[in-house]
Amino acid sequence: MDHWVKLGMQRLEFLYEYQKTMVLKSSYLQVDETTIKVLDHDNKKGKTHLGYFWAYHDPLGAQAFFSYEPGRGGKYPTTMLQNFNGYLQTDGYAGYEGLAQRDDIIHLACWAHVRRKFEESMSYDKALAETAMILIQELYAIERHIKEKGLDSAQIKELRLKEALPKYNLMGKWISANMSKVLPKSPIGVAFRYAFERWDELGHYMYDGNLQIDNNLVENQIRPIALGRKNFLFAGSHEGAWRAAVMYTFMAQCKKDNINPHQWLKYVFENILDTKPSQYHTLLPKNFVGQNL
């Protein structure tokens, strides 16, 4: 059965590379990573290697792909995105700093991670943490209003500059006035510093109405992997982890496009050998005319 899976993933390899190419052409990407344990013959018996699935999500095209890498170093996204230019949204992991400093990339930080830091500090300094949460919730209230009204990108930008920008500036002044009053290594001090060090990047989502306030869309892509880890526990090899990344890519895309994955896989396996590379787009889940979920 393992050999069958291997052969199936090899047949999907060219379509996977095509999907990857399409995603990397976007002018706006969100990136996140998560762990995967991998059996490695170089490790001691009973020990596993800690590898990483990296998720690259294109919010504009509603498409994504997963890449498996043996580590978490910044060299992996840097290599993957060497030809990328545009908006890049990530969490605060230092591995993205090299990309953030490039002149052809505008780096966006994630407000959900800022909110999480202040939530974690609630038991340490409730008054300051609650104030921060209220200010952040006001920004999110504007985003909810945008979704409810179904505004286009131009209208979104206009509304954010009119309503969100003053709140953003107010919170910036509040952080500057209060972060020196707390212990730097305390939970609330860490929350203040996390927001302060990324302040410009936290405001970049107001540049364009197509941008997101947080990284939640790509985090949603990697949540199923956490469930998978509880079931399969580890990949049998680095090659097996790569095959899992291929399968996660297409299963996540089927879910996003509301396509029955079994019907899609059957169609692709039956047709991919007769499909020219120039027509690979016809095989992608979003273009599959079949059974919905």
CATH of residue 38's domain is 3.30.420.10
Residue 293 belongs to some domain of the structure: no
Q: Per the domain annotation, does 292 fall within a domain?
A: no
User: Which two three-digit tokens encode residue 277?
Assistant: 């590379």
Cα Dmax for the chain: 67
- Domain residue limits at 234: 2-107+216-287
Q: Is residue 220 located within the same domain as residue 190?
A: no
Mean model confidence pLDDT for the chain: 93
Q: Which of 25-29, 39-43, 208-212, 278-282 has the lowest mean pLDDT?
A: 39-43
Residue 5: its pLDDT value, please? Answer: 84
3-state secondary structure of 43: coil
Residue 93 included in any domain: yes
* Integer Cα distance of 6 and 237 in angstroms: 12
Q: Is the pLDDT of residue 292 over 70?
A: no
- Calculate mean pLDDT across residues 77-93: 97
What pLDDT is stored for residue 2 in this prediction?
77
Q: Which of 173, 189, 207 is the last residue of a domain?
A: 207
Q: How far is CA 186 from CA 122, 125, 133, 233, in A?
A: 11, 9, 17, 35
Span 214-271, pLDDT tens digits: 999 999 988 888 888 888 888 888 999 999 999 999 999 999 999 999 999 999 999 9
Q: Tokens representing 267?
A: 């169609």
- Specify the pLDDT at position 291: 61
Q: Are residues 130 and 55 in the same domain?
A: no
Note whether 122 and 186 are same-domain residues.
Answer: yes
> Does the pLDDT of residue 293 top 60, yes or no?
no
Based on the fold, state whether residues 47 and 136 are members of the same structural domain: no
User: For residue 33, what is the enclosing H or E element?
Assistant: strand 28-38
Kindly state the tokens that stand for 292. 């919905």
